[in-house]
Amino acid sequence: MTDRQSKIAVVTGAGSGIGRAVAVELLRAGWSVALAGRRAEPLAETAASAPGGASLAVRTDVSRPEDVEALFTATVERFGRVDLLFNNAGTFGPGGVPVEELPYEAWRHVVDTNLNGAFLCAQAAYRRMKEQAPQGGRIINNGSVSAHAPRPHSVAYTATKHALTGLTKSLSLDGRPYGIAVGQIDIGNAATDMTARMRTGALQANGETTPEPVMDVADVARTVRHMAELPLEANVQFATVLATAMPYIGRG
């Protein structure tokens, strides 16, 4: 990266899975990274995965406005600015529950985490990026292939990921005057603890349960890093990274 481009990132959901992989990739590449998550121990494990990296662990529930504000305040106090937000924290919610049986509390939890949390973090990042000097920065939202095509019994998750696409487009438009680039990565079947069931069998649209291929989560992390390290004059608006043979395009 050029001297003009600073290297201060905030990664939410950094305690496991895709968030951890991206945080470690950035730390190893020389970024300073604020690690956000609800539990301190996994955040410490993420930091330990990149020895010598400049990291800051902040316990954060992204659905709570006061937690999000504290996260970004701590990041600026420690590192001076915010150049990248990887808006990653999310939850699938209860799996395999038909829409007519989904409790409202479960729906609300998914919406609060996946959509409201993404908005709160983007808003906080946007404020800092607009005010700091030099002005600008980048936000990368973690969408999903579910932002395009749902799985059976995934109404809350799918609805929030479709909404996240609208959030990405709106933020991208509003950020133009201030040098704030906003894009989205839609990921399919990265190998993490959350997707372990894919390898043993996932419910398909035809009612069958079939194992699905997965890909190395490191390939996702490298893609995010590529998006992050572009100059602000360039932007990957939408990227889709998925296991090559997963049942997504066509009929599977």
Q: Using one digit for the tens of pLDDT, what is the confidence trace for 122-161?
A: 999 999 999 999 999 999 999 999 888 888 788 999 999 9
Q: Which pLDDT belongs to residue 140?
A: 98
* Cβ neighbours of residue 59 closer than 8 Å, sequence gap 6 or more: 36, 37, 38, 39, 40, 43, 67
**Does residue 250 lie within any of the structural domains?**
no
Task: Give the ranges where the chain is alpha helix by DSSP (H).
Answer: 17-28, 40-48, 65-79, 104-110, 117-131, 155-175, 196-200, 217-228
**Does residue 210 lie within any of the structural domains?**
yes
- The answer to whether residues 84 and 8 touch, using CB atoms and an 8 Å cutoff, is yes
Q: What mean pLDDT do residues 54-70 have?
A: 98
CA neighbor of 71 nearest in space, from 123, 21, 111: 123
Query: pLDDT tens digits, residue range 175-228?
Result: 999 999 999 999 988 888 767 777 777 777 777 887 788 889 999 999 999 999
Q: In which region does residue 175 sit, left (phi positive, over 0), alpha (psi from -120 to 50) or beta (all else)?
A: alpha
State the CATH number of the domain containing residue 128: 3.40.50.720
Catalytic residue set: 157
Report residue 65's pLDDT band, with 50, 70 and 90 as the boundaries.
very high
- The answer to whether residues 122 and 139 touch, using CB atoms and an 8 Å cutoff, is yes
Number of domains, the chain: 1
**Does residue 92 lie within any of the structural domains?**
yes
What whole-number percentage of the chain has pLDDT above 90?
75
**Does residue 160 lie within any of the structural domains?**
yes
**Does residue 248 lie within any of the structural domains?**
no
Q: Is the pLDDT of residue 91 over 90?
A: yes
User: Looking at the whole model, is its pTM more than 0.85?
Assistant: yes
Domain range holding 57? 8-242
**Does residue 252 lie within any of the structural domains?**
no
